[in-house]
Structures are given as structure tokens and as C-alpha cells.
């Protein structure tokens, strides 16, 4: 059983998948930083100095100046500002994956479009051509 597990874990596609997941997780943290630290501050500034992470609604009542204060008080909060940040992160990741797939498809199309030798005609067609040529030569 241990031998089978080792063979499974060391297959190329399993290792490739693991590398993809690790790179994807790292890419996710980069996108999160991009959204939280680069994109959202100017948007917040344009909207009057608003910090989207502090957009929340307390469900248990009470008024708190920040989300951290609400969490520290143990209040139940609906964090829709963090949700907006997550949606923006998702859109950026989806767009980056779209661009990546588009480039991969462009390269594979070029390989497919390379001129290929036409396939040989079917055997029946060759035989019919030979019969035609024989009939022409008899006339």
C-alpha cells in the first residue's frame, strides 16, 4: 500500500497539480495585496476617504466605529465591505486566467495551423483513378 501511494504521489500529473496549487495560492496572495493595498485605497479616496474593509452591518445591535471594534466586542457583523474586496480579487484573478488561457490558445492555434501534408486519398479513390486511366488508355 505504501508503494502504491508513493507511485501515485510521484506521478507527473500529481506533482504538476501540486505545483499549480502552490503557485495559485501565491498568486492569490499577490492579488489580495493588489486589491487591498493598491486598487481599493484610490477608489476609497474617490468616494470620500472610504475604507471598504470597514463597511459592515452589525446584526446583534450596537454601533461600532470599525469592524475590528465590532469583532472585539463579540458583535455579529455582516462584512459586506470585505465581500466587495473579495469580489474584486476574484475578478482580477479571473481576468488574469482569461488572459493566460487566451495566450495558450493562441500558441496552440499556430501549431495547429501549420501546413500539413494532405492525407493520402482513400484506397477506393486510388483504384477508381487507376480504372479510369486504364479505360482512357484503351480508347
71-122, pLDDT tens digit by residue?
888 888 888 888 888 888 788 888 887 887 888 788 777 666 666 788 888 9
pLDDT tens digit sequence for 22-60: 988 888 888 888 887 888 788 878 877 777 777 888 888
Is 58 in a helix, a strand, or coil? strand
This prediction has a pTM of: 0.54
CATH superfamily of 2-138: Large-conductance mechanosensitive channel, MscL; domain 1 (1.10.1200.120)
Per residue in 97-108, is it b (16+ CB within 10 Å) or e — as a string?
A: eeeeeeeeeeee
CA distance 81 to 91: 16
Every domain of the chain and the residues it spans: 2-138
Answer for the pair 77, 57: CB distance below 8 angstroms, yes or no.
Answer: yes
Amino acid at each position: 500500500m505504501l508503494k502504491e501511494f508513493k507511485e501515485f504521489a510521484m506521478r507527473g500529473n500529481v506533482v504538476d497539480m501540486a505545483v499549480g496549487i502552490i503557485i495559485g495560492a501565491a498568486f492569490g496572495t499577490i492579488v489580495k495585496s493588489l486589491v487591498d493595498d493598491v486598487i481599493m485605497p484610490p477608489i476609497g479616496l474617490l468616494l470620500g476617504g472610504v475604507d471598504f474593509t470597514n463597511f459592515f452591518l452589525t446584526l446583534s445591535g450596537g454601533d461600532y466605529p470599525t469592524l475590528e471594534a465590532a469583532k472585539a466586542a463579540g458583535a455579529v457583523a455582516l462584512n459586506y465591505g470585505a465581500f466587495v474586496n473579495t469580489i474584486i480579487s476574484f475578478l482580477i484573478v479571473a481576468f488574469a486566467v482569461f488572459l493566460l488561457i487566451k495566450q495558450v490558445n493562441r500558441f496552440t492555434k499556430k501549431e495547429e495551423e501549420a501546413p500539413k501534408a494532405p492525407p493520402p486519398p482513400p484506397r477506393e479513390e486510388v483504384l477508381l483513378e487507376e480504372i479510369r486511366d486504364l479505360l482512357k488508355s484503351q480508347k
